Amino acid sequence: MLQTTPAGDTPKPILQLVGVRKTFGGFNAVEGIDLDVREGEFLTIVGPSGSGKTTLLRMLAGMDTPTEGNITLHGELINDMPPNKRPTCLVFQSLALFPHKSVGENIAFPLKVKGVDAATRKARALELMRVVRLPENYYDKNVMKCSGGERQRVALARAFAYDPQVLFFDEPLSALDYKLKKALEKELKDLHRETGKTFIYITHSLEEAMVMSDRIGVMRAGRLVQVGTPEEIYGAPVDRFVSEFVGEVNTIKVKRGTDGTWDGVDVPGRFTVRPPQDGATLDEAFVVIRPEYMRFLGPGDTAENRIEGTVYNEYSLGSRIQYQIRVGSGAGEKVMLVELSRSRALPPGADRAVTLGWDAADAFTLGS
């Protein structure tokens, strides 16, 4: 959920990028990015490998310098400012903890560098341990005797010890097991809310981004394709790349007839299609439907759009069931996905003829 501000107030940008580009030889790793990062927000940058998200993070953290464009922090140009001079901190994927030091010594290290006295360092380290939910008796424990999740908390506490205005995260949860990762996602979101710091998080995992973020930026080939709330990214993608990267989708190619109706190209049928969200006039388009918006139709059930198919397979997703439905035949066969709660699941069995339905308002229309 987006953080709220008092009525009439606009969230202030803490970081601004204008025309930022990074070139390595003849390769443009990041191309012409414009972005305002709001103070106190949790912004996540997602994208496939090679999309430029890590290069972007390195420029924000001061580890790389933009080839073109400007990065400002509170209005001050920081293109050439080294990392140790910026009021920011980067939590690495590798965590970069000191293996020979204790938990407390790792957390207090930034304060030691600043010349803070030993008693104050320890008091602050213990305070941060409470913030990240580490037991007080871990202060003298060697950090390498901690579990992966505990070391992750140590790295977070050490980052907070710098008292940064902005915290950068470079895929910090990627090496953790699923259960621990889910727990730490929630804890990171809690820490963000409790501290009010600005978080900029890099990941290839859409699920992480959807759980934690106020806004998500989707990168492709060095460009930010779309920036918006999780709801906007998921429910109103700007193109097929974003729609398919951000969760599973069913895509049907359609062509407008001379009478204004839409006929299926890769799926037989005539369809009711809502206009593209960008207002474009198209003769050919792609109708994109999330699996959870499709339903099975029984006798007497109605839907604006329907297609016939056969159940091919089903998968348990815990509280939900996903079905693979084959429609068409031969070279024109296409697989559609339907996702339902267990309470609405089909009776067991395979190779069942079914009718799929959805309404135009539950789909979105894209030109590319």
Residue 6 lies in a domain: no
**Quick one: 160 and 253 in the same domain?**
no
3 inside domain: no
Summarised one tens digit per residue, pLDDT across range 116-156 is 999 999 999 999 999 888 999 999 999 999 988 888 889 88
Q: Do residues 195 and 321 share a domain?
A: no
Are residues 337 and 265 part of one domain?
Answer: yes
Does 4 reside within a domain? no
Q: What is the CATH number of the domain that holds 346?
A: 2.40.50.140
pLDDT at 131: 86
Residue 291's pLDDT is: 95
Same domain for 21 and 112, yes or no, is: yes
Please tell me whether residues 266 and 119 are part of one structural domain.
no
| pLDDT above 70 (res 290) | yes
From 191, 219, 241, give the residue that closes a domain. 241
Domain boundary among 222, 241, 260: 241
CATH code for position 153: 3.40.50.300
- Residue 205 has a pLDDT of 85
- Mean of pLDDT values over 171-177: 79
Last residue of a domain, one of 241, 274, 305: 241
Same domain, 202 and 290: no
Residue 240's identity, in one-letter code, is R
Together in a domain, 229 and 266:
no
Query: Is a pLDDT exceeding 60 seen at residue 6?
Result: no
Instruction: Clarify whether residues 300 and 326 are in a common domain.
Output: yes
Lowest-confidence pick of 75-79, 161-165, 223-227: 161-165
